[in-house]
Amino acid sequence: MRTAASKASRRYGPLLAMAALLTFMPLCLAQLEGSSKWTAISQTAMSITGDIKSTPTTLTIAGHKLELRLVRQLNHDDTANAAALLDTKITPNLIGVLYQTHLSAGTKLQGNNTLCGKNDTTWIVILLSQSNAPRSTADLYLANFSGSGEPDLRPSAIATSTHLCGTYWYEKSSST
């Protein structure tokens, strides 16, 4: 026998889950509001991009401003796949976003490196993770891709992809 409470749960459960996500999402993305400076942590980030700056619509890498066009927030599976690609843990405060961008293959960064070899950078996946203990930090993970189509983040697709250009890790600390 179905009770009124179980009917309400089935009917409004997905709405409540979405409301919780929408309430949580701005807390994660607040790290990108305004201008933020991120310190390069991974060897790849230190040697190719150095420290970067972000706003909600741009990334500044080695003095070059990339305009970001939000495509979508990553679903759970894509976030999990991106976390595996970027070698980070899936936590409740991890959020993933796909952006479209353009950085010419000829753009030289640190050490005369390029972001995507001989290809234009056209897509950037960003994972943002925030921690409050023992000190408040935020980690920013980037994976950049070439190609005209949206990147497929499944491990089997990444293993054979010629469009993945690089992965990078940055940190921002509230105490700095």
Identify the pLDDT of residue 35: 76
Domain residues for the domain of 119 are 4-173
pLDDT in tens, 96-128: 999 999 999 999 999 999 999 999 999 999 999
Strand partners, 85: none
Identify the pLDDT of residue 133: 56
pTM confidence score: 0.77
Res. 27: pLDDT tops 70: no
Segment 127-156 shows an average pLDDT of: 85
Question: Mean pLDDT, the chain, as a whole number?
Answer: 81
Identify the pLDDT of residue 81: 92
Comparing C-alpha atoms, which of 34, 60, 174, 31 is closest to residue 124? 60
Segment 16-37 shows an average pLDDT of: 50
Comparing C-alpha atoms, which of 107, 106, 126, 124 is closest to residue 163? 124
In contact, 58 and 38? CB cutoff 8 Å: no
Q: Model confidence at 34, in pLDDT bands (50, 70, 90)?
A: low
Res. 24: pLDDT tops 50: no
Query: What total number of domains does the chain contain?
Result: 1
pLDDT in tens, 39-69: 999 999 999 999 999 988 999 999 999 999 9
Identify the pLDDT of residue 9: 47
Identify the pLDDT of residue 130: 75
Segment 138-164 shows an average pLDDT of: 93
Host H or E run for residue 152: none
Report the C-alpha gap between 51 and 61 in whole angstroms.
Answer: 7
Could you please report the per-residue DSSP string of 1-33?
Answer: ---HHHHHHHHHHHHHHHHHHHHHHHHHHGGGS
Res. 80: pLDDT tops 60: yes
Identify the pLDDT of residue 132: 61
Percent of the chain whose predicted confidence (pLDDT) is above 70: 75
Identify the pLDDT of residue 25: 42
